[in-house]
Structure 1
Amino acid sequence: MLFSTDDFWCLDMMKKNASRMRIVSVYDLPAAESIRALQRLRRASLIQIQSGLESEEVKVESDDILRQVYELVGGRTSYLARVARAPDMLDEAKYMVEMEKEWLLSRIGLIPDHDDDVMDEQKWASCSWLLLRHLAQKVPPVTEDITMTTLDEDLEMAKVSYAEARVISTRTDFLQPLDQAHIISIDVHHHVRPDSVLLLRAVQSVISEPGFDEDLDKTRARIDEIEGLHRQSELTVKEPFRVVVGKKEGKTVLDVIGLGGSFVSTNEDSENTEDPEDPKEELVRVV
């Protein structure tokens, strides 16, 4: 039986009892294979568009353009096939990064001045960006200076261990939902990385915008503020009052006096009203 999935929780559940299970991990194509595949797909697309031309007569973009496309979308064959069919491959790759960015913001976009009704959603978003920012900063941005040395150099995806990801994101229960949403990927070695190169470039675009770090700090500060308000209890008294217990003509006297706007502190009240000849007089404040 073959079972195909890209969610980590399936492996986590099945490996406990599947003693004869064999795992085959499928990754993106390396740089050299990606560029060769892109050349073949591009040539086939141009032959289909420009009917009547032979394969040798079709001019494919230079290796520099192919390398830049690879650095934008990576070696995932579905992305390479889509770029190869576009009129301008480089513009299509940039457009795909922009669309991935907008999708990502629709899922985990930050709202610094959010209402308390969406606090839980912003917890997930802010903790997710802590992890994504850490991963994106470990990979250099796209470069246009292509040399023969860097032409076939593989693009290494940033990764951290599952334990490190828990510490960076400050939450242990957000990793698997991020994996199921195809924002991160968790492999059989418990390595956490961005789900694709395309998503990595989208994350790099977001964190490079001015004010991103400030928005992230404001969002987390707003969450702390709302949680602090939820932990507090407020007690309100309509009108403070004073209870005076004393003795007059051998009898105990209990007098309750409403203070209203003329309310003064206990220390000032006791200093002004205490009778030095009656040491048994007591002031009791009830709030």
Structure 2
Amino acid sequence: MARPRRLPRLYAAPPSGRQTQPPRILKGRPRASPPSPRQYVPWARDSDSSSWRDSSFKLLEASLTAFGSVVILGLAGYSYHVYYKSLVLTKMENAFAVGYSSLEKAALSRHDVNAEHVDEEWIARKEQAMIDGIVDGTAQGHYWLLTGEKGTGKTSMLLHSMKKIHGEGIAMLEVHGDLEIFRLRLGKALDYEFHEDYIGSLFSFKGPRDTTPLLDIERAFNQMEKIALKRKKKLGRPLVLILNGVHLLRDNEDGRNLLELVQQRAELWAASKLVTVVLNSNDYWITERLTHEATRLRVMPVHDLSKDDAISCMKKVRENLSFEEVPNSVLEHVYSKIGGRLRFLNHVANSSNMIEACDTICAQEKRWFLNQCWILGEEMDPAGEEQQDTCTGAMVLAKELVKKQQAMQRDGIAGSGLPQIPLHQAREIMTKYDWIQRHDHLNIFAIDSNSMVQAGSVAMQNAFRDVCTQEGFDEHLQATLDRLDQLESLGRTREITFKDFQNEGEYQAIVEGGKKDSGGVIVSLKAVPKKAD
């Protein structure tokens, strides 16, 4: 029986989904030509469909991978952003916790050495109870300005109140005239980095929000409000922000803008009882600037001790330090020399020779006054006119205060304190309104919260008396004033020089107008013929 004829097998079937191999030729078989494009191949359509599905799957896989990466990156960035904001608030909240910052520790240690006897052992100041209420959060609804002369104990009382509650709920910083330095000190007091350590800032560009330090200060206050709201809800007490040395701000546009920003925030916080702002200043211009827009401001003047309090304080500290009982006559002499200024009393009470220490302080105050305000007389150089204007104004005002003190002594009211002159009269005496502000900053004169001008201290008033009563002072002062009038007249004089004369060098001047005429003076020149001899 014959076997059936088998058809020749030319190619091996291509595996599905894989690239086909070149055709394998069988031995002993004739080579067949490859199929033409138009020839129907049963597995070609399946191969094209499989390739399209494979490309679509790869595209979808790549898209899902990219989308997943973006989602993970976004979640990571958002988580870091939330964590960073939470960390900022946590750090700032810790800044108001129990304890002190490095600045407060340094200030406490410094004032403990110099003013411990003054605040604790000598006398309980009447202002201390009110400051205690402000610092511990009992006194709410206002913001405060502590004002007074240098060395009256304002900062010491604040630190003493802070020490009682261990700095809980308080942030304190020293003010500086440079806004950048103020911004850094505020960030240090609040433990706030102003987003400078935020990693997201590496991928951002500077925009209109990166302007002046005032914007960063505003952001810090915004963050502090959140802490204040949380504390108010939890404890019912406000935070306390103490700005020490506000008078160090410059009286220019930057300083006024910063003071305005602080006052606006203080008004809002006082109304909502979130934060109590305490401003400590030695100069009057801060009071004058804040009073214009103030509604919830309370001014607390801190002045020298009275005579009885100062004498009892010195007597007590001498008994504690050297077990010495000082006679009242010596203590009264000390008070007549230096008054009730705490920084002077502390120095004298801790000295072995109290009278000699008083003389040293008075000599230092007198030298300071002369170095800043001495007048140069009739031989003054024209270049010193502007500086001597302020000096003569100070000398004239000092002379008026000495005259008023002598009148008080004649009337038997010398024990009522230093002689005072209203601020508007002092400006009239000095002939310019802003000169008194310069001398107030130099602690030569002092302006209290009631706009009354007096000497910077009892020792400075004694320096006024020594200088203004010395022989020949009135003549020297008058010679200086005359020289200033001469220089001012020369400054107003204009000299006209004519050159290149024509018509044999003769001109005729015609003056029109004058004092009686409402118009100005007109001078016209014309050449005239020379007269014959």
2:386 partner letter: D
Identify, as 1 or 2, the structure richer in helix: 2
Shift of 1:16: 2.2
Q: In structure 2, do the counterparts of structure 1 residues 18 and 235 end up closer, same or farther at CA, with 3 Å as the change threshold?
A: closer
Give the whole-Å Cα distance in 1 for the aligned partners of 2:403 and 2:359: 20
Match of 1:109 among 349, 353, 374: 374
1:82 partner letter: H
**Is residue 366–residue 463 contact of structure 2 (8 Å, CA) maintained in 1?**
yes
1:95 equivalent to 2:360? Answer: yes
Q: What does 1:31-50 align with in structure 2 at a 5 Å threshold?
A: 31-46=307-322
**Is residue 318–residue 324 contact of structure 2 (8 Å, CA) maintained in 1?**
no
Counterpart of 1:234 in structure 2 is: 495
**Is residue 206–residue 212 contact of structure 1 (8 Å, CA) maintained in 2?**
yes
1:164 equivalent to 2:420? Answer: no
Identity of aligned residues (%): 26
1:137 partner letter: K
1:73 equivalent to 2:338? Answer: yes
Give the whole-Å Cα distance in 2 for the aligned partners of 1:21 and 1:239: 70
1:168 partner letter: I
2:480 partner letter: T
Map Cα deviations across residues 134-170 of structure 1 (whole Å, 9 max, x no partner).
11222249x9xxxxxx9xx845110011111112222
- What's the C-alpha RMSD, in Å, of the aligned pairs? 2.5
Map Cα deviations across residues 39-85 of structure 1 (whole Å, 9 max, x no partner).
11222332xxxxxxxxxxx3333111110110110001111110112
**Is residue 373–residue 394 contact of structure 2 (8 Å, CA) maintained in 1?**
yes
1:213 partner letter: D
**Is residue 71–residue 155 contact of structure 1 (8 Å, CA) maintained in 2?**
no
Counterpart of 1:25 in structure 2 is: 301
1:195 equivalent to 2:460? Answer: no
Shift of 1:237: 5.5
1:197 partner letter: V
Q: In structure 2, do the counterparts of structure 1 residues 155 and 92 end up closer, same or farther at CA, with 3 Å as the change threshold?
A: farther
Shift of 1:216: 0.8
**Is residue 186–residue 192 contact of structure 1 (8 Å, CA) maintained in 2?**
yes
Higher RCO, 1 vs 2 (CA within 8 Å, ≥6 residues apart): 1
Give the whole-Å Cα distance in 2 for the aligned partners of 1:45 and 1:116: 55
TM-score, structure 2 normalization: 0.41
Give the whole-Å Cα distance in 1 for the aligned partners of 2:325 and 2:406: 27
Map Cα deviations across residues 216-273 of structure 1 (whole Å, 9 max, x no partner).
11111111111111211223457988x5xxxxxxxxxxxx3x79xxxxxxxxxxxxxx
Counterpart of 1:224 in structure 2 is: 485
Counterpart of 2:523 in structure 1 is: none
**Is residue 30–residue 154 contact of structure 1 (8 Å, CA) maintained in 2?**
no
**Is residue 34–residue 70 contact of structure 1 (8 Å, CA) maintained in 2?**
yes
Counterpart of 2:46 in structure 1 is: none
TM-score, structure 1 normalization: 0.73
Shift of 1:5: 0.7
Q: Which runs of 5+ in 2 are unaligned?
A: 1-276, 507-527
Give the whole-Å Cα distance in 2 for the aligned partners of 1:17 and 1:232: 44
Give the whole-Å Cα distance in 2 for the aligned partners of 1:201 and 1:83: 17
Q: What does 1:11-22 align with in structure 2 at a 5 Å threshold?
A: 11-22=287-298
The residue matched to 1:172 in structure 2 has which SS? coil
1:181 equivalent to 2:442? Answer: yes
Flag the structure with larger Rg. Answer: 2
Counterpart of 1:123 in structure 2 is: 389
2:450 partner letter: H
Map Cα deviations across residues 96-150 of structure 1 (whole Å, 9 max, x no partner).
1111101111111111121111110000000111111111222249x9xxxxxx9
Counterpart of 2:230 in structure 1 is: none
The residue matched to 1:24 in structure 2 has which SS? strand
Q: In structure 2, do the counterparts of structure 1 residues 284 and 74 end up closer, same or farther at CA, with 3 Å as the change threshold?
A: farther
Map Cα deviations across residues 169-225 of structure 1 (whole Å, 9 max, x no partner).
222121111111111111121111111111111111111211111111111111111
Give the whole-Å Cα distance in 2 for the aligned partners of 1:218 and 1:24: 43
Give the whole-Å Cα distance in 1 for the aligned partners of 2:348 and 2:449: 30
Greater alpha carbon shift after TM alignment, 202-211 vs 230-239: 230-239
Give the whole-Å Cα distance in 2 for the aligned partners of 1:231 and 1:138: 36
Q: Which runs of 5+ in 1 are unaligned?
A: 47-57, 144-149, 244-255, 260-281
Give the whole-Å Cα distance in 1 for the aligned partners of 2:372 and 2:417: 26
The residue matched to 2:454 in structure 1 has which SS? strand
The residue matched to 2:280 in structure 1 has which SS? coil
Give the whole-Å Cα distance in 1 for the aligned partners of 2:438 and 2:325: 41
